[in-house]
Structure 1
Amino acid sequence: MVRFKNRWLLVEFIPISQAQSSITTAVTSNLDGKLIWGALRQSILTNFGDTGWGAVASSLTVKYYSPTTNTAIIRVSRDHHKIAWAGLAMITTIDGTRYIPNVVHLSGTIKHAQLSAIQHNRVVVARYRALAKTPSGYQDSYDTFLEKSTLEIQALQD
């Protein structure tokens, strides 16, 4: 039996807005896993042609996306993960909105991608709280988001 080896990319999509209001832009974003997959497909086709797309097409999936933190976990085969990473780096717009894709973590197992995603969610929520200037003991909707997203991320299967 042959085991397929994958790489897991944790990617943060940073929206570029004219108002420079990152909190409202991140929350009201209409981005989802399907749009990310389509934009990545188009980027790979444009920059690497049919050969590049043929190499990654069978293994490329967006396993998780959080609209609150604009982070996604993307699975791709180990042999061709550099093509997918380069395709991500060349994405400028998704569905008419400008984004900067930032690869936060590259992992060989889903478990390490999950741990990194949970940690990254905590960092992003801390960043949102710092921008809002809330005290550290303040209870807000981000606490329930962190609990819910942690359970969702831990439930991911290969």
Structure 2
Amino acid sequence: MVRLKNRYLLIDILYPDPATWPSTTPKSTSTSTSAQLAIHSPTSDALTPGLLAKMIREEVSELYGDCGVGKLGGASAGGINVKYLSPATSTAILRCPRASFRLVWSALTYMSHVPSTNGDASQKRPNGGRERGCVFRVLRVSGTMKKAEEEAIRRARKEIVRIRGVEEKGVLGDLVSGVGGGKDLVMQSVVDVSDDEMEDED
């Protein structure tokens, strides 16, 4: 029996254009924190796993023609499969053939929009739909889905600790740094997360 070898790509959808950011931002956060949260803002529910796979296949077809589509397994074959898509965190895990993961990666590099609802800051397309400008960033390529999931969890924890550290310093300001140093408080929370990860590995 032949084992089909695949690659799993962990991708993140970013919105660097300020015109696409949500108009409401929390007042308790600083400007750098609100900008960071806006870049990582949620994706519309109009983007489904099937639509994302179709968009990638169309981009591969546009860039590489029939040869590229053939390397993915053909137009009707399931060469690209979206195993996980979270619109809330704008994160996805794609499965593709090992021999053609670079084709998928390059297609993601050239993709510049996702479908949008009417409530989002978006541009109208010629066919009547709406789109929102974005950047697809490949965070990790792995041989198993488990490693891609672990990387997604590790990055989410790191981002939460970083955002919390900025918020604590911004809200408490010199009060925390005058008492014991704001960096000690942030480093303590990083150590707590690292200790939890060490316990999980044991």
Question: Equivalent residue for 1:66?
Answer: 86
Unaligned runs of 5+ in 2: 23-34, 116-130, 172-184, 186-202
On the 8 A contact 2:20/2:132 being kept in 1, the answer is: no
Partner residue, 1:150: none
Larger Rg over CA atoms: 2
Asked if 2 retains the 8 angstrom alpha-carbon contact of 1:26 and 1:67, the reply is: no
1:84 pairs with 2:85: no
1:118 is paired with a residue of what secondary structure? Answer: helix
* Higher relative contact order (Cα pairs below 8 Å, separated by 6+ residues): 1
8 A Cα contact 2:43 2:89, kept in partner: no
TM-fit CA distance, 1:100: 0.4
Structure 2 CA distance for partners of 1:51 and 1:112, relative to 1, 3 Å: same
2:148 corresponding residue in structure 1: 113
Aligned length: 136
CA–CA distance in structure 1, aligned partners of residues 99 and 141 of structure 2:
14
Gaps of 5+ in 1: 137-158
Distance 1:94 1:6, change over 3 A: same
The residue that corresponds to 2:48 in the other structure is: 32
Q: Distance in 2 between matches of 1:32 and 1:26?
A: 17
Verify the 8 A CA contact 1:17 1:98 in the aligned structure 2.
no
* Pairwise CA distance, 1:106: 0.6
The Cα shift of 1:33 comes to 1.8
Looking at structure 2, the residues matched to 10 and 40 of structure 1 have their Cα atoms a distance apart, in angstroms, of: 14
Report which stretch shifted further, 74-83 or 9-18. Answer: 9-18
- d(CA) in 2 for partners of 1:32, 1:128: 28
Task: Measure the CA separation in 1 of the matches of 2:108 and 2:20.
Answer: 25
C-alpha separation between the residues in 2 aligned to 1:13 and 1:102?
A: 6
128 and 65 in structure 1: CA distance in 2 versus 1, 3 angstrom threshold: farther
How far apart, in 2, do the equivalents of 1:37 and 1:46 lie? 14
Per mean C-alpha deviation after superposition, the further-off stretch among 81-90 and 16-25 is 16-25
1-structure distance, mates of 2:94, 2:139 = 12
Which residue of the partner structure matches residue 18 of structure 1?
19
State how far apart, in whole Å, the 1-side matches of 2:12 and 2:101 are.
17
Aligned-residue offset at 1:127 = 5.2
State the secondary structure of the residue aligned to 2:12. Answer: strand
CA change 1:53–1:82 in 2 (3 A) is same
Percent identity over the alignment is: 30
Answer yes or no: is 1:122 the counterpart of 2:154: no
